[in-house]
Amino acid sequence: MPEQSSLTHPAASSPAPLIAVVSGKGGTGKSTVSLCLAATLSEQCHAALLDLDPQAGVSLAAGVARATAPLSAAPDAKLGFPLFPGGRALALAGPGEIRRRLSALRADYRVLVADLSPALTDAAHVAVLTADTLAVVVARTDAAGLANVDETVQLCREKHCDVLIVPN
């Protein structure tokens, strides 16, 4: 039997690992990567996807409507794993509100994938990008995309996140 990963089987007393899928610009494939990560992880453990983008790109791509109150919305499970939908109200949410939602969800799941907006300065980035977060940076590999990758990686490193770059 294969050895269990600490990512999908953390110690019982620790919060669920948080994987933040980020990008410094739209159109990189961030939402697709988020969906694929959540789907794959949900085959291994009790994983969920949290859409923290006010545009709700990952929710809409999955055929799930934007939530009016995304920080209290129930999950949709039509894809075989819980997807907590995003919505425009996230643009007005503060980091504390987002941290409280993350804390509750990290207690309920083994792994939490968060799809963030391309805007690197919103409250979700402040709340999510912490030392215990794995930041998956989805990058276009053209000249414009590479400049955004550098800015995104720098922000993640300032927040002491582990970083994984996914060229797309």
Region 1-6 average pLDDT: 48
At residue 76, φ and ψ (nearest 5 deg) are: -105, 135
> What is the spatial distance between Cα 148 and Cα 74, in angstroms, rounded to a whole number?
33
How many Cα neighbours within 13 Å face the side chain of 20? 30
User: Model confidence over 113-161: pLDDT tens digits?
Assistant: 999 988 877 788 888 888 889 999 998 888 777 778 888 888 889 989 9
Q: What is the pTM of this model?
A: 0.88
- DSSP-derived secondary structure for 58-100: HHHHTT-PPPSSTTTPPPB-TTSS-EE---GGGGG--HHHHHH
Region 100-117 average pLDDT: 93
Instruction: Read off the amino acid at residue 45.
Output: C
The predicted pLDDT at position 129 comes to 87
